[in-house]
Amino acid sequence: MKMFEPDELASLLRRAGCEVASMIAKTVLVQRSNEAWLEEPARARELLAAEERVHGDRAYFGLAGHFQVAARRSA
C-alpha cells in the first residue's frame, strides 16, 4: 500500500502528462459513527451543503474516508 499526499499525487500526474482537474475529500463531516444524523431529511440536506462547501479545502483532506482526483491528459 502506498499513501500519497495531494501535492505528491499531482506531481506524479503532471509527470505522466496529465493535468489535475479537481481534488476533493469524501466524506469529511459525517463518518460512520454519525450516520444517524442523516435520518432527518432537513438535517441531511444541511450536512450535504456543508460537505460540498468544505470537501475541496485541503485543510479537510486528512479527515476524509476517501480522496478523489480527476485528471485529464494534457494536449
Query: What is the DSSP code (8-state) at residue 40?
Result: S
The pLDDT assigned to 45 comes to 92
Going from N- to C-terminal start, the domains of the chain cover: 6-73
pLDDT exceeding 70 applies to what percent of the chain? Answer: 99
Cell of 56: 475541496
Point out the residues of the chain with pLDDT beneath 70.
31
As a whole number of angstroms, the distance between CA 54 and CA 11 comes to 23
How far is 63 from 31, CA to CA, in rounded Å?
Answer: 9
pLDDT value of position 38: 84
